[in-house]
Structure 1
Amino acid sequence: MSELYVPKHIGSQAFQRNNIIHKHSPTWVKLLLPNAVAMIDSTYIYIEKSWNFNNQKRRYCQHKADNLVKMMAIMLLDGKWFNMYGPYYSDGYNNDELIWNTLSDDNVEIHENKYLFAQRQQLHATFATNDMFIGDRGFSRCKGKWSLYTPDSICKGEKQLSTAKANQTRCITRVRNAIERGFGRLKQWKFIDSVVNTEFLPIISVIMKILCAVDNAYFSELVEDNDDALTNAKVIISNLQMENDVISLEANAIGWRKANTNDISTIIPSYDDNDIKKFCGEYSIRIAHAYLGHIQQQWTTYIHHDFPSTIKITNIVSRYKTTANPKKHIVWIRFGQNKHNDTASYCTCKSGLRTAGGTCSHVTAALIALKHWKNNEKIPSFYTTAAALFTNVLDCTAYKRTNKNRKISTDDDETIRNIENQTSSSDESENEESSNEESENEESTDEESTSDELTNDELTNEASEDNTNNEYAKKDQYDLRKRLRTV
């Protein structure tokens, strides 16, 4: 199969460059990303632990915390697999960026592996220099022969993508999701969905190529090229340069007041689920259904007298935060007269400034909730099966909180006791200090009286000594006069 069947369905023999551009590139994709020819990404295949320690260390992925090898895949824009390269080790020297640099760099002339050199030669022979590939953020710093379309990231110090970056990222993700769905379809095969025995490592590349060939031959295309997709792409292109003015008007205004269902029902126009799907996108609706489970966390609606067609909704809990005080988003929705054709919105999330390609899932969840509130309907429960699966899963959160509160109360009691002990000890020390001061005062008084007595005695002695000295001096003077007279 690898010699006869596989070359007919994947590889450079099955797909020539002209054939790729004209037959395997949907019109709407070329409209969004003009120079794109294919998508690239890697997938993981879990393997057993090896007794060779050197290989074991190189096959252990710290990102997935497991033993695995990586396969680099190239998919055409219509969802057909072009080829599968690998397997590669999964350590830090074999990330997506370095693998693609090895395959695409023109300056790499020497390869330790002849098979790797053959893969590179096949890739360079098929695609031209001006062709562009679509990748995820892991390929954003790649340097090689071909340029890449990659989603933008938030720069340091920023909280949101700009409108232009958010719109461009939406164009890329709208196309790139096909390769992720392709990996999901490949992993329906039990061989690569489970842990692979290390004995299959020498032929794992051949097996993956066979599976890709079977997928191309017998499965439906992952990307459809129809009029609806082309119409949606044209709408996205027309909105790429549109600025989001909701952030500069409604989002910066003060004076919003809380509103109930009766207050907002007159603002909300009539629309159905199909309108939401066209305006927001299918994937956004799936995420929004999960967000609607957070309504019990007190969503609050507001209205403003200066913006009669705008509704503000707060306390939309982010799904990425699991702390006791998670991040919450705020949504502003400005409704128009013609359902969603002239509706504008802004959200405080990372992609909240987007004006092309649908809204973020927070705005979508708000639109679904508002539709039910307008009609006085109860919001249905979504993903009830997913919630029911965790019914018997135990949770120690209550125990942890109880212990935490108990510890806090114990710490408070100890603090109070310490304060009381410090207060009593300070009182005792003050009493001791006062008694010591009194004794010191008494001692000082005795010392002063004693010193006074000593001073008087000393003065008396000094006076007597002075008198004696004076008498001796007078006697000496008398004797001297007497001797002079005799002479």
Structure 2
Amino acid sequence: MVEFVLRERMDKIRKGRKDSKCILCEKRTKPGKRRPLCGETNKNLRNFLSKNFLVSPNDDDVICDTCRRKYYREGQAQVNTPTVLTNDTNANDPDFMPPSAPKRAKLSSPLSISLPISSTIKGFTKEANEDITSVYTVSDFNRSGLLELIDTIREHALKNKNARIDFDKSSSLNDTDFRNLTGLTITDFEDLCSHIPNSAIRDTRVRSMRTCIGIFLTKLRSGMSNKILATLFNISKDSIRKAISSARDAVKQHFTPKYLGFDHVSRESVIQNHTRPLAQTLFGDITNTTAILVIDGTYIYIQKSGQFKFQRSTYSMHKFRNLIKPMMFVTTTGYIVSVIGPYLCNSKNNDAKILNSIFKNNLEKIKEWFDKDDVVVVDRGFRDSIDLLEEFGIQTKMPSFLKRNEKQLSVEDGNTTRLVTKVRWVVESVNGRIKQWRLLDKVLPNSLIPYAGEYTRFVSAICNKYRPPLNAGNETDDLLLGTKMLHMSKKKNELMERVSNENLHSRSGRWQKIDGNDSVEDFPKLSEEDIRDITLGVYQVKLAKSYTEEHLENDDYYEVMQQGHQLIRVRMASRHTSSKTHNLWITYDDCCIKTWYCTCKAGARIVGTCSHISSVIWFLSFYRHQTKGNQAKQWKDYVHDANQPEVVDDSDSEPEE
């Protein structure tokens, strides 16, 4: 019997040594730094643990000295709590807070549920809690509380780590960042997302509807691959692909049809809201009831394909590259009415045949949209469509062709061509605007060819909705400019006739370099606005600056000959072929330029000037009188030229005997 009792006590001792963990902090404790929880003397301690820490101690459990001190501190705080004495004088004290009432108030909410909540004093109001001052600067944490805090911080960090670029919070990116990434401002992005219902794009753990739209716009704007986008947005490549696919289908259904296509805008709306007064003056009628559209194809370059038939069908003999062509229908203000295609680019799919196919198949009900005597402005590539368009009663405005065995357009053809180009330039600017979304400007991977049309139409819809008109024009200014151009188009070039009659092109004389203010001193001084009134546009003025830069680099670029009173002849090289030169004549007086003529292809016209004449006028009348600033960098200085003459060192040559 004695042996059994000793053995039982030894087992308890071993068990205590092995499992002597604190019931509260679960730390192993040494025998001298722990206390058992059994017995009547530790009843209050067990009640304290059950009430404050929700643990139920057993007879074998122990508690460490550190945790036991919490019990003694709690008991000491209750002993030191002062007793509050009240009297009648405290009722008038505004800072006096009476003790809580002992009875419990019965609050029921909802039915059959009673909440026995003690009534509280005003010291527990929100304002009172905010006025509490900190007494202790150090807080005690046990291991479990510290681990819980670390887990919470880690979870929050991991959640935020997945959102490097966050489109769900507009405040995470400023307006410039939104414009750089998507091509839209924050307000425009919010409006675009409002067009897409929540059911159109399913939210997942890694992306929302706004994130899908943002990724899709970033893809179009930057042209980056899915791998790079996966790195930027910190999601997998497959998630990027699914996000782009979901966004593409959603905008195709809910956004693009509202802002693109012949169905989305009426003919009357185009006439009233999207037609420039200059175009109506040049090609419309006095009632302003003519719809005027500019038609042209744009290029989307693609990769070479292993499908040989497709590669042959997409190879352009004009660009010497593989490409596909969407057909653009644009108003004279730059508003895109429709984008049809894309089409192949072989000889059977030139601009004229594509337009003929669109009208014959009545795509988007285009024949019902146009009315009799409406006008389409096209380039020379649509010459085979003129007869078909005339069958539908549509007028065609197109630049003139050179006649057989002629090297220069006649005065009449040059003038009418300038009227056309004055209106047709807008479609080229529209093509440049949609190429600001770099995916359409780069070489498109063949895997994206099925979606090239959708991408082009979506970007066009964005331009219609969120971009201002390229040039809406001013009604008064456009009317004056159009009337001036129509009046000048009926004139003859008197200087051209004088050059021919007096044989000025073969008359010899002394050529003088234009090298400063001492050349042609009586040439009038003009402003850039005066020069634009002569050229009737800004394109020739831009080219004039490039011609002048080449003249400043080569002093012999401009050569001038005086062939009469206030009549000069200038000889200058072509910008395309260095071996080819052009001769031009300009007459002037003390305050203005009177007439001009150039031997280039378009130099006989009166409506505006060619770039050669504008460059001479710009240099003599404006540039040489300005204070010269820093010159533009010459890019050829950073590229080697193998045609430079070899330098010979005389020291290496043998001495003559």
Structure 2 length-normalised TM = 0.54
Relative CO higher for 1 or 2, CA cutoff 8 Å, sep ≥ 6? 1
Q: Is residue 285 from structure 1 mapped to residue 517 from structure 2 by the alignment? A: no
Deviations 1:94-116 (A, max 9, x none): 111110111124xxxxxxxxxxx
CA distance in 1, matches of 2:371, 2:483: 27
Secondary structure of 1:153's match?
A: coil
Q: Equivalent of 2:423, from 155, 168, 175? A: 175
Whether 1:245 aligns to 2:501 is no
Tell me the equivalent position of 1:330: 583
Residue type at the aligned position of 2:262: S
Q: Quick one: which of 449, 452, 468 aligns to 1:204?
A: 452
Q: 1:270 to 1:191 in 2, by over 3 A?
A: closer
Alignment of 1:125-274 (within 5 A): 125-142=368-385, 143-145=387-389, 146-226=394-474, 227-250=476-499, 252-253=501-502, 254=504, 257-258=509-510, 262=518, 264-266=520-522, 268-274=523-529
Aligned residue pairs: how many?
375
Q: Tell me the distance in 2 between the aligned counterparts of 1:244 and 1:353.
A: 7
Q: 2:565 aligns to what SS in structure 1?
A: strand
Partner of 1:418: none
Tell me: CA distance 1:391–1:294, structure 2 relative to 1, closer, same or farther (3 Å): closer
Shift of 1:393: 1.8
State the partner residue of 2:49.
Answer: none
Q: Hey, what's the Cα distance between the residues in 2 that align with 1:381 and 1:331?
A: 30
Encode CA deviations 1:280-306: one digit per residue, 9 max, x unaligned. 2311011111112343234222223xx
Please say if 1:391 is aligned against 2:637: yes
User: Contact between 1:59 and 1:89, CA under 8 Å: does it hold in 2?
Assistant: yes
Equivalent residues in 2 for 1:370-409 (5 A)? 370-371=620-621, 375=625, 384-385=632-633, 387=634, 389-398=635-644
Question: What is the percentage of aligned positions where both structures have the same residue?
Answer: 27
Q: Which residue of 2 aligns with 1:311?
A: 568
Distance in 1, Cα, partners of 2:379 & 2:460: 21
1:28 and 1:293, CA in 2 relative to 1: closer, same or farther beyond 3 A? same
**Superposed CA offset, 1:237-278 (max 9, x none):** 111111001012145435564376657313x12322221122
Query: Judging changes above 3 Å, is the alpha-carbon distance between structure 1 residues 347 and 378 closer, same or farther for their aligned structure 2 residues?
Result: farther
Name the aligned partner's letter for residue 482 of structure 2: A
Alpha-carbon separation, structure 2, partners of 1:152 and 1:36 = 22
Residue identity opposite 1:67 in structure 2:
N
Q: Unaligned 5+ residue runs, structure 2?
A: 1-250, 285-289, 649-657
Q: Deviations over 1:349-379 (max 9, x none)?
A: 11111111x211111111122226875x787
Q: Is the 8 A contact 1:318 1:328 kept in 2?
A: yes
Secondary structure of 1:75's counterpart equals strand
Given that 1:256 and 1:303 are in contact with CA atoms closer than 8 Å, whether structure 2 keeps it comes out as no
Secondary structure, in 3 states, of the residue corresponding to 2:367?
A: helix
The Cα shift of 1:188 comes to 0.8
CA positional deviation for 1:190: 1.8
Which amino acid in the other structure matches residue 483 of structure 2? K
Residues 373 and 178 of structure 1: is their aligned pair in 2 closer, same or farther, counting only changes over 3 Å?
closer
- 1:56-83 CA-to-partner distances (Å, cap 9, x unmatched) read 2212223222222111110012110011
The one-letter code of the counterpart of 1:43 is: T
The residue type equivalent to 1:309 in the other structure is: Q
1-side partners of 2:443 and 2:398: how far apart?
Answer: 31
1:102 and 2:357 aligned? yes
Tell me what 1:89 maps to: 344
Quickly say closer, same or farther: Cα 1:252–1:131, change in 2 above 3 A. Answer: same
Q: Residue 264 and residue 66 in structure 1: after superposition, are their counterparts in 2 closer, same or farther (change >3 A)? A: closer
CA drift at 1:320: 2.0
- The 3-state SS of whatever aligns with 1:303 is strand
Which one has a larger percent helix, Structure 1 or Structure 2?
Answer: 1
- 2:411, 2:606 within 8 Å by CA — same for their partners in 1? yes
Residue 367 of structure 2, aligned match among 108, 120, 124: 124
Q: Secondary structure at the match of 1:246?
A: helix
C-alpha distance in 2, partners of 1:246/1:86? 48
Matched-pair contact (CA < 8 Å) for 1:265–1:374? no
Deviations 1:293-348 (A, max 9, x none): 343234222223xx41212112x1111215xxx111111111145424xx111111
CA contact (8 A) 1:302 1:311 kept: yes
Query: Unpaired runs of 5+ in structure 1?
Result: 106-116, 403-487
- 1:194 to 1:270, Cα distance in 2 relative to 1, 3 A: closer
C-alpha displacement at 1:164, in angstroms?
Answer: 0.9
